[in-house]
Amino acid sequence: MKTNFMGKEISGQFTIPSGIVTTNTKVIKKIMEEIPEIGIITTKSIGPEQRAGNREPIITQYAPGCFMNAVGLTNPGYKEFAKQLSELKIPKDKFLLISIFGGNEKEFVEVAKELAPYADALELNLSCPHAKGYGMAIGQDPVAVKEIVSAVKKAVSIPVIPKLTPNTNNLGEISKAAVEGGADGICAINTVGPGEYTVNGSPVLTNKKGGMSGRGVLPIGLKCVKEIREAVDVPIIGCGGISVASDVIAYKDAGANIFGIGSTLAGMSTKEMKEYFAEIEKDIENETNNAISKIKKIDMDFKKFKLVKNEKLADDFSVLTFDEKINVKPGQFFFVWIPGKGEKPFSALDDNPLTLAVHNVGCFTKELVNLTKGAEVFFRGPYGNEVNVEKKEKIIVVGGGTGVASVYQIARDYENTEFFFGARDKDHLYYTDKIKESSPLFISTNDGSVGEKGFVTEILAKRLEELKGENMVFFNCGPLAMIEAVVQIEKQYASEEKIFSSIELMTKCGIGICGACANKKGKRLCVDGPYFGEEKCE
């Protein structure tokens, strides 16, 4: 349903709040093209300098539909983000709201001046509850709010919309101060808290404390919007706990003009989000709540496993075997959590018993390869979409590094499969006896210590020439350089629709919320993948 916001006719009355899903320009482009109900595109908060943010875990679910996050204002910095925005074309019926933050008035103005030329309006993050020295630390002071809004308003020629915190008892006063400073609208609310959630006696979030969002904050959001509406007469973007049409109507009755939906989107693929927003729009018109059927039930619970065996194949490589089995389907993956040390995603090399292949490439994997027998490790998942193959097709899987674990799942569960394993040397080959039980195995090592000397591309090309004419489908997983090389060969023997690859991208949440794992086409690995058709795996 088209609506007007600050003088611009836009395609819909919804937005996704800052920091959720539309956290980079690749996803923004896809959402703009595919979901008309989202008329306002809100970016993640951008600051003066690049920030890596907090180590994972950055998000947890403390009750069904209720989340807690501490991302840590991860962003590329305003200069890099400006470069990315310069390549993004905004449709005429979309409103780009760029969220910005700073530690003081000077930093807000600095960022605002640089990003204003690309925006329809600027959202001022005066409400983040878990980043020390930013957000809520400023937004609870009416004087500071007025001064920052006024300074930014004087520095730019576009609307300014402060995002306010619910964590205050004088929200009406703060709203008035913002409008007196020149605010053209108000966004409310940001996350509540911070709170803390523990599992097995340890805080899940590496930051320990995080802002709370989701279904549980709905009453707080409605209360805050009502307080703001009673205090000021400007457009309000209302967000916090919205999941169905009756929530939207409640926010509208409280005084909101635009409606932000964020945590409810957890677990939804791009296609499922499109269906959800179309359904909730119908519900508003028909006074129904059918969109509830589109909301996913998210499992972020942890299960504890004990390490039975750490087989060190090389100084930087181990195969870890745990004490129980875990259910996983081909293509799916898990998050592995060591309390106080961090969390990372892994494909299960085997599910009975649970087995991992770990290459020591960073702080967290170093912790894993150094685990000793009896160590306790926590797993959550699985995530990602199951691979489906027609029985009549011959399956070619190509794996390198720890990516072998993912394609082994396919070889294990499907017949008529051939397996191509590329490794650095004999010490980085693993699970070959088990692979041979499932399919013929072709091995190449860089140094020729096992199999043929050279790269996996060479043995693949040789074998595919022998199989020419067969109906083949391909699955590749491993380093990007390897995948790019094997795909070029595979395209000579199959159409692009028959070539699927899973590339190791930064995956932080597993439920599609953070947007970190988006590929160049704007699809998120954890909910749209992990395997993408060749034309989509960039």
Q: Which H/E stretch holds residue 231?
A: helix 218-231
For 156-302, list the strands marked E by DSSP.
160-163, 186-188, 192-196, 198-199, 202-203, 209-214, 236-239, 258-260
pLDDT one-digit tens code per residue, 389-400: 887 899 999 999
Q: What pTM value is reported for the model?
A: 0.94
Residue 367 has a CB neighbour count (10 Å cut-off) of 19
Three-class DSSP category at 119: coil
Determine the average pLDDT of the residues in 108-130. 91
pLDDT one-digit tens code per residue, 138-170: 778 899 999 999 999 999 999 999 999 999 999
Cα–Cα dist 153/149, whole Å: 6
From the list 401, 412, 480, 402, the residue with the least C-alpha distance to 441 is 412
State the DSSP code for 208.
S
Domains and CATH numbers, the chain: 9-294 (3.20.20.70), 303-383 (2.40.30.10), 394-504 (3.40.50.80)
pLDDT one-digit tens code per residue, 106-115: 999 999 999 9
pLDDT band at 386 (very low <50, low <70, confident <90, very high): very high
Determine the average pLDDT of the residues in 312-319. 92
Cα–Cα dist 478/469, whole Å: 26
Query: In terms of pLDDT, which residue wins out, 538 or 317?
Result: 317
The CA–CA distances, whole Å, from 537 to 120, 273, 362, 458, 509 equal 32, 20, 25, 22, 20
From the list 22, 58, 21, the residue with the least C-alpha distance to 300 is 58
Cα–Cα dist 247/252, whole Å: 9
pLDDT at 508 over 60: yes
pLDDT at 506 over 80: no
Share above pLDDT 70 across residues of the chain, in percent, rounded to a whole number: 97
- Spatial contact of 107 and 75, defined as CB atoms under 8 Å apart: no
User: What are the backbone angles phi and psi of residue 474, rounded to the nearest 5°?
Assistant: -120, 140
State the DSSP code for 447.
T
Cα–Cα dist 364/344, whole Å: 7
pLDDT one-digit tens code per residue, 426-439: 999 999 999 999 99
Cα–Cα dist 198/189, whole Å: 25
Residues serving a catalytic function are 128
For 74-151, list the strands marked E by DSSP.
95-100, 121-125
Cα–Cα dist 48/102, whole Å: 7
pLDDT at 132 over 60: no
